[in-house]
Amino acid sequence: MKPTIVIIGAGSVEFTRELLGDVFSFPELGSVRVVLHDINAERLETAEAIARATASAAGVQPEVVAVADRRRALAGADYVINVIQVGMHDATVRDFDIPETYALHQTIGDTIGIGGIFRGLRTFPVLAGIAKDMLEVCPDAWLLNYTNPMAMNVTYLHHVAPKLKVLGLCHSVYWTMVGLCEVVDVPFDEVSYWSAGVNHQAWVLRWERNGESLYPLLDQRIAADPELRRRVRVDMYRRLGYYPTETSEHSSEYVPWYLRHPEEVDRLRLDVGAYVRISEANLAEYARVRSELAGGSTLGIDTESTEYAPQVIHSFETGTPRVISANVVNDGLITNLPNGLAVEVPTLLDALGAHPTKVGDLPPQCAALNRNFLGPVELAVRAAVDGDARLVRAAAMVDPNTAATLTVDQIWKLCDDLTVAHGDLLPEPLRTTLAP
């Protein structure tokens, strides 16, 4: 029986195209059933056209259906890939423009930070609905989550649907290792590596070729290249001894050291507000692809995409073993990070499912930063689960970049402003302004 793959938020057309291109690249998955769902009718129509064009380019014949009703789309699913963005571009702009009036700078704003907190809060109600539907109409399905804020979303799902099978997937570790191999001029397929931590702030604990660490070679490259030293994660690596697994723009937001200092922004070439422009580019790309499809153009297959969800599905369906980095709830996997919160660890995939690896203790300096990262994660989730608006403010107060930049009064006022701006996208108990 062919598996059913449901994509929720399929109107994220470029991501849908990449995911399906990877799925169809596996001969065993060429005849899968693909169900597309989006709340926007035009985007859903476009996603269906993209899916059919991608299948045609790959030379496969899957069953493709587009379903506007989410519950009906989920019925009988084996795999549910979540790529929703609640509030879309308008909400993203609010997450940047309002904090900027307080001189609180962000680069991506989707993970922690004030932008990540409010992105999480407006995503949680939709996640709760997806989880409820899945437990009722496809209780054995896997939820493969790509939607950020990853650590918050996986932690929240553990609270509201502990029986749901969830993997959080992100390509940051893979592309970090590809990039590092390019820096040291070593073929990626000749190296082995081991990373762990939290999503967007994991650490390359081992990176070897023929049993020898490649870190000394990286040190040589960094010492020889002043421009390479002008990147946040290189700066962090030189000070902490372990390379972080997310871009410099992302990494700058998770610590208190960089974005509040104009001279550091310049020294490290940080692109403040980068994600707003990325979001605008995504809108333009959507319009371009829709126009091309309407004009009868064909779509090619992205041979550079190596997303994890298709690999997960392939391993589960065929028994092919492989190891990826996945986000799961910590249950003694990383022993010096709190249990009950999402961590990112090497995870074995096979016919029996996903098997997260026990890592043990992280290096203490890495664990300390991860615990700072997990503070706003835990508090934002508890705010939604408990319906406690005060915990929203507490999440912002312990967020490293926000706390380093604003006074506590400014933080509370900013949370009030964002609460009003996002309105009924937020959980109902959290839609109130709050005096300290």
Give CA–CA dist 310/308, Å, rounded: 6
- Give the residue from 272, 112, 122 showing the smallest Cα distance to 200: 112
The whole-number pLDDT of residue 297 equals 65
pLDDT digits (tens, 9 = 90+) for 52-66: 999 999 999 999 999
The whole-number pLDDT of residue 295 equals 72
Reported as a pLDDT band with limits 50, 70 and 90, residue 293 is: confident
Strands 201-209 and 212-213: antiparallel
Sketch out the chain's domains with CATH numbers: 4-87+110-170 (3.40.50.720)
What's the whole-number mean pLDDT along residues 383-389? Answer: 98
> If DSSP codes are grouped into helix, strand and coil, which group holds residue 357?
coil
> If DSSP codes are grouped into helix, strand and coil, which group holds residue 331?
coil
Residues annotated as catalytic are 171
The whole-number pLDDT of residue 298 equals 67
Give CA–CA dist 281/318, Å, rounded: 37
Residues of the chain above pLDDT 90, percent: 90
DSSP label of 360: B
Please, are residues 145 and 82 in contact by the beta-carbon 8 Å criterion? yes
The whole-number pLDDT of residue 429 equals 96
234 backbone dihedrals φ, ψ, rounded to 5°: -70, -40
What's the whole-number mean pLDDT along residues 229-247? Answer: 97
Give CA–CA dist 366/420, Å, rounded: 36
The whole-number pLDDT of residue 305 equals 56
**200 belongs to an annotated ligand binding site:** yes
Residue 46 tokens read as 């476009």
Residue 304 has pLDDT above 70, yes or no: no
- Average pLDDT of the chain to the nearest whole number: 95
> If DSSP codes are grouped into helix, strand and coil, which group holds residue 152?
helix
pLDDT digits (tens, 9 = 90+) for 273-291: 999 998 898 888 888 888 8
pLDDT digits (tens, 9 = 90+) for 215-229: 999 999 999 999 999
> If DSSP codes are grouped into helix, strand and coil, which group holds residue 61?
coil
pLDDT digits (tens, 9 = 90+) for 317-376: 999 999 999 999 999 999 999 999 999 999 999 999 999 999 999 999 999 999 999 999
What's the whole-number mean pLDDT along residues 90-96? Answer: 96
**148 belongs to an annotated ligand binding site:** yes
Reported as a pLDDT band with limits 50, 70 and 90, residue 13 is: confident
Residues of the chain above pLDDT 70, percent: 98
> If DSSP codes are grouped into helix, strand and coil, which group holds residue 84?
coil
